[in-house]
């Protein structure tokens, strides 16, 4: 089996390198040995895989098929070796992480910086921004998202439960009254955070069913922190993640409303590209975050 893999790997290396001499230089093997391995593989399969001339090397039709499948097989084996090695060695290398800005600044930072303190061989590229990040195109290893997973090309692991709060300032409630039903918000000033799912169509739960209420008001903004400030100043009702709303609720600057109608089930998720074997440094970070938020719950 080992000899078979050596022949297959030699075939792939020769074609990837553009010839026997280049492959010998890149991989520290003799040109004669690589040539023997490829010839032995062709003899075993009973087909010619490569057309060889003094100036050019190309694949036959059979060679193209064999190269495509064998390259994928070798990549899976290499990934598996790396995965097992990652489990037995200390996490190291560059880790690219994406997260929403306000969540990253207020809640994620202590958790992820503690991971760095525990694993000094890891370097972190932390990208805090309120936009959809294409993990594959932008080379991101893992994204922290407050949502439900919709992209089937990605896989996710739940980190922690999340919830939202609807509220307004005491002064606004004194002026316009406290809404008793989500539909009341249609006629009240609301602050629209365009990052919120649904934007100006706020979602609530009644009798186990989702209802959508269109809202409007004096402000549309792409920052939940700015939306919170506007709500505290009495400009309108707001829906905020609990980690931003709770401090203002505790201080009395915001008063929760419609608590029996608020949706549940939102989670903080670690989302990463669909790979057969997850890099050890990514797995270590996700395990750390799960443990951290189990003892530091997101209020």
User: pLDDT category, 156, cuts 50, 70, 90?
Assistant: confident
What is the residue-wise DSSP string for 62-79? HHHHHHHHHHHHHHHHHH
The whole-number pLDDT of residue 90 equals 76
pLDDT for the residue 85 = 62
Condensed to tens digits (0 to 9), the pLDDT of residues 174-215 reads 999 999 999 999 999 999 988 777 788 999 998 888 899 999
The DSSP code for 252 is: T
* 19-34 average pLDDT score: 86
2 pLDDT exceeds 60?
no
Higher pLDDT: 148 or 121? It is 121
Q: Sorting pLDDT into bands at 50, 70 and 90, what band is 168?
A: very high
- In the predicted model, what is the mean pLDDT of the chain? 86
Q: What is the pLDDT of residues 68-86, one digit of tens each?
A: 888 888 877 776 776 666 6
- Please report which confidence band the pLDDT of residue 101 belongs to, taking 50, 70 and 90 as the band edges: confident
Please provide residue 109's backbone torsions phi and psi, each rounded to the nearest 5 degrees.
-50, -50
Torsion angle of C-alpha atoms 170, 173, 174, 175, degrees rounded to 10: 130
Please tell me which of 2-16, 138-152, 199-213 the model is most confident about, judged by mean pLDDT.
199-213
- Find the mean pLDDT for residues 142-156: 71
Structure tokens at 87: 């489990």
Model confidence at 19: pLDDT above 80: yes
Collect all residues with Cβ–Cβ distance below 8 Å to 138 and sequence separation of at least 6: 98
pLDDT for 106-118, tens place per residue?
889 999 999 999 9
What are the phi and psi torsion angles at 130 (to 5°)?
A: -95, 70
Query: Residues 42-60: what's their mean pLDDT?
Result: 85
Length of the chain: 299
pLDDT of residue 286 exceeding 70, the answer is yes
Residues 6+ apart with CB under 8 A from 52: none
Helix (H, G, I), strand (E, B) or coil at 114: helix
Q: Are 17 and 50 in contact (CB under 8 A)?
A: no
Quick one: pLDDT at residue 268? 87
Residue 67, pLDDT > 70, answer yes
Of 20-34, 87-101, 120-134, least confident by mean pLDDT is: 87-101
* Most confidently modeled range among 51-65, 129-143, 230-244: 230-244
Contacts of 298 (CB under 8 A, 6+ apart): 107, 160, 161, 162, 242, 243, 268
pLDDT digits (tens, 9 = 90+) for 245-275: 999 999 999 999 999 998 876 788 898 876 5
Residue 138's pLDDT is what? 77
């Amino acid at each position: 089996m080992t000899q078979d893999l050596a022949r297959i790997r030699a075939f792939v290396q020769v074609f990837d390198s553009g010839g026997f001499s280049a492959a010998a230089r890149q991989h520290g093997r003799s040109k004669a040995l690589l040539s023997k391995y490829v010839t032995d593989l062709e003899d075993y399969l009973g087909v010619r895989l490569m057309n060889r001339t003094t100036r050019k090397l190309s694949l036959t039709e059979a060679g193209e098929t064999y190269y495509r499948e064998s390259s994928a097989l070798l990549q899976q084996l290499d990934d598996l070796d790396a995965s097992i090695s990652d489990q037995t060695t200390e996490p190291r290398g560059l880790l690219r992480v994406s997260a929403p800005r306000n969540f990253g600044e207020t809640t994620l930072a202590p958790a992820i910086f503690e991971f760095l303190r525990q694993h000094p061989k890891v370097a972190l590229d932390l990208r805090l921004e309120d936009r959809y990040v294409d993990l594959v195109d932008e080379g991101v290893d893992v994204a922290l998202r407050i949502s439900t997973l919709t992209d089937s090309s990605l896989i996710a692991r739940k980190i922690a439960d999340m919830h939202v709060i609807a509220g307004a300032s005491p002064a606004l409630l004194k002026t316009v009254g406290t809404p008793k039903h989500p539909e009341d918000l249609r006629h009240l000033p609301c602050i629209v955070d365009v990052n919120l799912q649904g934007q100006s169509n706020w979602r609530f739960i009644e009798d186990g069913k989702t209802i959508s209420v269109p809202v409007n008001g004096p402000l549309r903004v792409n920052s939940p922190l700015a939306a919170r400030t506007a709500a505290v100043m009495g400009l309108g009702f707001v829906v905020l993640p609990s980690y931003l709303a709770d401090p203002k609720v505790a201080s009395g600057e915001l008063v929760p409303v419609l608590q029996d109608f608020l949706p549940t089930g939102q989670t903080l998720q670690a989302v990463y590209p669909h790979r057969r074997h997850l890099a050890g440094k990514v797995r270590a970070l996700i395990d750390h975050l799960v443990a951290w938020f189990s003892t530091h719950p997101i209020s």
